Structure 1
């Protein structure tokens, strides 16, 4: 199965059944992505070389303003969209089968996890995966050790406090924190 067809089916159906042709095609892409991540994480590279390798992982030509501190891991790679002036700190893990969209000017702290998959609750059907995208609008800031769960959109300019688990959408211009993440304040209350 060609990559474009695979991405289209994953987006349209939002589910991957264990053992299906879509699952087999996804695993093949994932195998290659894990190999590319291992190469990326086991060398010493310039910023330009990191950008080139991340472009290969994502299948997207990344802007020269993109910056990444290693290590970095992705489960799939080809369903990540990264805007301009994006910084990703070390230790981040992207499970992107459901799609991860990172808006311009976003900052992502150490050890952030983006999880776009849920498994079926039925123990006999755990191999079935349900996919939902994660989107960071422009100028978001995700604090260290935060986890963003499937289907969540982080609104423009918003901040997710370190260590938070975000289970629901975050409105623009707000600060959230905790587990599960809850409203802390409006961004304007923190800007002097």
Structure 2
């Protein structure tokens, strides 16, 4: 154990709920276990939830912790808030890619981005900071996914899609080629997006239509 502690990088996970449990499994699956999770930071886990331990406090703990971190929370707005605070504290996120995920030629991943099992990122796609891509989602060639976005399991972005910052793509949703998902928009589970989605709106259905403002 002492050798492992020397050879691995300490890692704080911001979040202690369901996404954090997936991140814990991801880290365990990495070849050579390059990271060692030293604790979880969360103040908003509902009472009675399954919580990762040790729980060290809220995300403000990062201010005094000279340790790499990732954000394991599925709310884009919360991801953005934590990123801004961590930047002010000069903390450094790491990116995590599950071994079963595939990245084609020319893919760029921003700091803090997480790819869970079975993700496929196709050629020349660019993902920003702290993007969370859930299991078996696909990001098509030449897509641009901006900071803090969340792609749910089995979401599909066709080629050339642009997803602006803080957007949320629901489970099994499909976005057709060259469409733009606006800043802070939400695409509902199973939706098929055939037109651009304006900022701060929610769409759902097949084809996707606006339902309400966020």
Taking structure 2 as the reference length, what is the TM-score of the superposition?
Answer: 0.52
How far did 1:114 drift? Answer: 1.4
Would the alpha carbon gap of residues 67 and 182 (structure 1) be closer, same or farther in structure 2, given more than 3 Å must change?
same
* CA 48–159 in structure 1, closer or farther in 2 if over 3 Å, else same: closer
**What is the alpha-carbon distance in structure 2 between the residues aligned to residue 113 and residue 56 of structure 1?**
15
Unmatched 5+ residue regions in structure 1?
1-42, 117-132, 188-192
| Distance change (3 Å), C-alpha of 1:156 and 1:185 | same
- 1:60 shift after superposition: 4.7
TM-score scaled by length of structure 1:
0.58
* Matches of 2:103 and 2:209, distance apart in 1: 36
The offset of 1:49, in angstroms, is 6.0
* Matched residue, 1:57: 104
* Aligned residue among 114, 121, 143 for 1:67: 114
Summarize deviations over 1:96-154 as a string: whole Å, max 9, x none.
1xx200010100000011122xxxxxxxxxxxxxxxx2000000000000000012100
Pair 173,48 (structure 1): closer, same or farther in 2 beyond 3 Å: closer
Q: Counterpart in 1 of 2:204? A: 177
Q: Structure 2: which 5+ residue stretches go unaligned?
A: 1-27, 34-93
CA distance in 2 between partners of 1:144 and 1:101 (Å): 19
Cα shift at 1:79: 1.7
Which of residues 124, 133, 137 in structure 2 aligns to 1:88? 133
- Using CA pairs below 8 Å that are at least 6 residues apart, which structure has the higher relative contact order? 1
Question: Is the partner of 2:204 in helix, strand or coil?
Answer: strand
CA distance change for structure 1 residues 94 and 62 in 2, over 3 Å: closer, same or farther? closer
Q: How many residues align?
A: 126
The aligned residue for residue 147 of structure 2 is 104
CA distance in 2, matches of 1:53, 1:63: 19
Structure 1 residue 113 corresponds to structure 2 residue 98? no
Alpha-carbon distance between aligned partners in 2 of 1:173 and 1:59, rounded to the nearest angstrom: 30
Report the structure, 1 or 2, having the larger helix content.
1
1:4 matched residue in structure 2:
none
Aligned-partner Cα distance in 1 for 2:118–2:99? 15
